Amino acid sequence: MMNRRDFSLAVVAGAAASLISTRNLAATTAPTKARNVVLVHGLFADGSCWSEVIARLQNVGLNVTSVQNPLTTLPEAVDSAQRVLNRQDGPTVLVGHSFSGMIVTEAGAHPKVSAVVYVAARAPDADEDYAALAKRFPTPPATAGILFDGDEGRLSEAAFLRDFAGDVPEPKAKVLYAAQQPFRKSLLAGKTTQAAWRMKPSFYAVSTEDRTINPDLQRFMADRMGAKTVEVKASHVSLISRPDVIAALILEAAGQSS
């Protein structure tokens, strides 16, 4: 007869095996063919940052929507993405850049989401403290460039040009800087309650020259989720400097040939 200690160990082992199995299933399942793509931007940006990727996806017949993330609180940001997902007419690839990986991780459980794509993005587990996770890796240079006016945060021009969009031609980077949307401190306090990457086919584009989210942290998160991963020689904004690569990854997630 199994004693109480052995029974407890068996329960723990079974739970761990279940989690591993769920992760591997999500990672290895072929994505459903989708014609809809929903894109979400992160900090220091607005929905227009996806313009180069949008054009490439539209050119092959996909229906694309770029969410205007309110950057207020995580629940409000998730709600904004879910409202867009509700309007889609079938399987949809949900894509997030930077901070909006938090939104993809939470909203990606939506039944219309067929695959999730992370572009140099946060990818926490359910109830995980992302800040604590990030502290396990060297602090990226852009962090020192965040400025606050009361409750609102933004990135200084010097940090934006050097650490956020370092491989974008300066005239274009200055236009992007002028359009950055401030975020509220309350946004950073949110935690995800579920992890879509445990349920859905997952894809990750690591920016190898990133000075906003540590590339090794990106690799850790991509490896943990078992994502199909590509390494892109780019700054944090690979969606702007390397849109062909990012569009190709999204097409793969949509089950479409590039």
Burial class (CB in 10 A: 0-12, 13-18, 19+), 78: buried
pLDDT score recorded for residue 30: 79
Instruction: Confirm if 39 and 45 have CB atoms less than 8 A apart.
Output: no
What's this model's pTM, rounded to 2 decimal places?
Answer: 0.89
In the DSSP assignment, the letter for residue 166 is T
* Both tokens assigned to 78: 């998730």
pLDDT score recorded for residue 31: 83
Determine the CATH number of domain 31-253: 3.40.50.1820
pLDDT score recorded for residue 8: 37
In the DSSP assignment, the letter for residue 181 is P
Q: How far is CA 161 from CA 1, 145, 177, in A?
A: 66, 11, 8
pLDDT score recorded for residue 257: 64
63-67 vs 146-149, strand pairing mode = unpaired
Spatial strand order in the sheet of 183-184: 146-149, 152-155, 183-184
* Both tokens assigned to 200: 């859905």
- Give the 3-state secondary structure percentages of the chain, helix then strand then coil, rounded to 5: 45, 15, 35
Q: What is the largest CA-CA distance in the chain?
A: 74
* Both tokens assigned to 80: 């904004």
pLDDT score recorded for residue 19: 41
Spatial strand order in the sheet of 36-40: 63-67, 36-40, 92-97, 113-119, 202-207, 228-232
Distance CA 141, CA 148 (A): 17
The one-digit pLDDT tens for each residue of the chain (258 residues) are: 444 444 333 333 343 333 433 444 455 577 899 999 999 999 999 999 999 999 999 999 999 999 999 999 999 999 999 999 999 999 999 999 999 999 999 999 999 999 999 999 999 999 999 999 999 999 999 999 999 999 999 999 999 999 999 999 999 999 999 999 999 999 999 999 999 999 999 999 999 999 999 999 999 999 999 999 999 999 999 999 999 999 999 999 999 964
pLDDT score recorded for residue 225: 96
Q: What is the C-alpha end-to-end distance of the chain, expressed in Å?
A: 58
Instruction: Confirm if 68 and 178 have CB atoms less than 8 A apart.
Output: no
Instruction: Confirm if 76 and 107 have CB atoms less than 8 A apart.
Output: no
Distance CA 128, CA 197 (A): 14
